[in-house]
Amino acid sequence: MARVHNFNAGPAALPLSVLEAAQKEFVDFQGTGMSLLEHSHRGKDYDAVHQQAIALMRELLAVPDDYQILFLQGGASQQFAVIPMNLLPADKSADYVVTGAWSQKAFGEAKNVGKVRLAASTEDNKAFTRLPTRDEIKVDPSAAYLHFTSNETIHGVEFKDWYPETGSVPLVCDMSSDFMWRKFDVKRFDLIYAGAQKNIGPAGVTVVIARKSLIEKGRTDIPKIFRYSTHAGENSMYNTCPTFGIYIIRNVMQWIKDSGGLDQIETWNREKAKLTYDFLDAHASYFRAPVAKDARSVMNIVFRLPSEQHEEKLIKEAKAAGFVGLKGHRSVGGIRISAYNAVSVDSVKQLLAFLDKFEKANP
């Protein structure tokens, strides 16, 4: 079997052992005579999987008891609307930090729901190649919450060393593309959300981790299906939950645990990013990495070649050599290496050797 080196931005690489385990019990789940896909979400077989997925995530991230973990549908994009629907009362405004395409989308969608305000933007010349400084973030002390995106998947900009300080204003974070790349202090946040399809599972599940007190304060004048309190009250089983996706998440959580936990995952992720950025810096006249060094993403590494023709050729030849998913997002072009948790250090080393050869052959 020939598996490629998968650098897709999401849906993205999953650990081979997770896929193989799912394959092994795909038709007959643990001797029940049917696939997990065919099980009721209310049955005891699925319920065990559901509880384990939540318990493992809680353990790996040390999620405190006063936070709830939810598995929802609709993608991170649905959260762009659901967050203000729940947390933004009519007489208040919400703050947004815009550092790239995704936080800009979140800001735009929130405008459709209520009053919002820009607390900071790094859209300088539409480039989004840096983080704001701490001082540039002007928090409205009466804001309903402040929203930011910890990793901009398209622009390759990440908050790694610090998060916005908001005092008593609740901090809300889109962590879709850097969720669980390492351990982090959940208590720094009031609500975190992430599409599963980058670091922890397949498309179709959105994780929300929120302070229970914030969920309880959520608006009740919105449809029941969009209230966090509805899903929290039913442990994410208010309606039919995405069972198979949650099962894969459970298996990825177990894989993280068996690999040595999030500290080991972080070590691998930092090694992949260091190898790549060191390579790019050593070849800077050919591979141009536009993002400011202190804002460089560990997960999504973006760069340009001398011309678009070089980029097209690279993507084509890389694919033929077994390296897929390197095309930058269609809105920005260029090359993007997404090196999520399941991408091995060895895959990155092999890709860098390929880039080195490509440069020599294509001056």
Ligand X SMILES: Cc1ncc(COP(=O)(O)O)c(C=O)c1O
Q: Residue 102 Cβ, how far from ligand X at the closest point, in Å?
A: 4
Query: Angle at Cα 337 formed by Cα 104 and Cα 340, nearest 5°?
Result: 85
- Judged by CB, which is closer to ligand X: 10, or 334? 10
Q: Residue 278 Cβ, how far from ligand X at the closest point, in Å?
A: 25
Select the span of 26-34, 60-68, 72-80, 334-342 touching ligand X (CB under 6 A). 72-80
- Judged by CB, which is closer to ligand X: 305, or 337? 337
Q: Residue 204 Cβ, how far from ligand X at the closest point, in Å?
A: 9
Q: Does 347 bind ligand X (CB under 6 A)?
A: no
Q: Does 245 bind ligand X (CB under 6 A)?
A: no
* Sign of the Cα pseudo-torsion (208, 213, 214, 219, in order): positive
Tell me if residue 327 is catalytic: no
Choose which of 5, 6, 8, 10 interacts with ligand X (CB under 6 A): 10
- Judged by CB, which is closer to ligand X: 107, or 287? 107
Q: Does 199 bind ligand X (CB under 6 A)?
A: no
For residues 186 and 180, is the Cβ–Cβ distance under 8 A?
Answer: no
Q: Does 195 bind ligand X (CB under 6 A)?
A: yes
Q: Residue 1 Cβ, how far from ligand X at the closest point, in Å?
A: 28
Choose which of 86, 176, 199, 243 interacts with ligand X (CB under 6 A): 176
**In what helix (H) or strand (E) does residue 6 lie, and over which residues does it extend?**
strand 5-6
Phi/psi at 273 (5° precision) = -70, -40
325 CB burial (10 A radius; 0-12, 13-18, 19+): buried
Q: Does 204 bind ligand X (CB under 6 A)?
A: no
Instruction: Kindly report the number of other CB atoms within 10 A of residue 68's CB atom.
Output: 23
Tell me if residue 198 is catalytic: yes
Q: Does 75 bind ligand X (CB under 6 A)?
A: yes
Residues 135-174 vs ligand X: string with x where CB under 6 A?
--------------x---x--------------------x
Instruction: Please count the CA atoms within 13 angstroms of the CA of 349 that sit on its side-chain side.
Output: 5
Q: Residue 329 Cβ, how far from ligand X at the closest point, in Å?
A: 9
From 160, 198, 272, 327, the catalytic residue:
198
H-state helical runs in the chain = 16-24, 44-61, 75-87, 101-111, 212-216, 228-233, 243-258, 261-282, 308-320, 345-361
Give residues with Cβ within 8 angstroms of 361, minimum separation 6. none
**In what helix (H) or strand (E) does residue 98 lie, and over which residues does it extend?**
strand 93-98
- 3 state SS of 222: coil
DSSP state of 135: G
From 95, 174, 178, 190, the catalytic residue:
174
For residues 177 and 300, is the Cβ–Cβ distance under 8 A?
Answer: yes
Residue number, nearest CB to ligand X:
75
Tell me if residue 66 is catalytic: no
Q: Does 107 bind ligand X (CB under 6 A)?
A: no
List residues binding ligand X (CB under 6 A): 10, 75-77, 102, 149, 153, 174, 176-177, 195
Active site residues: 102, 174, 198
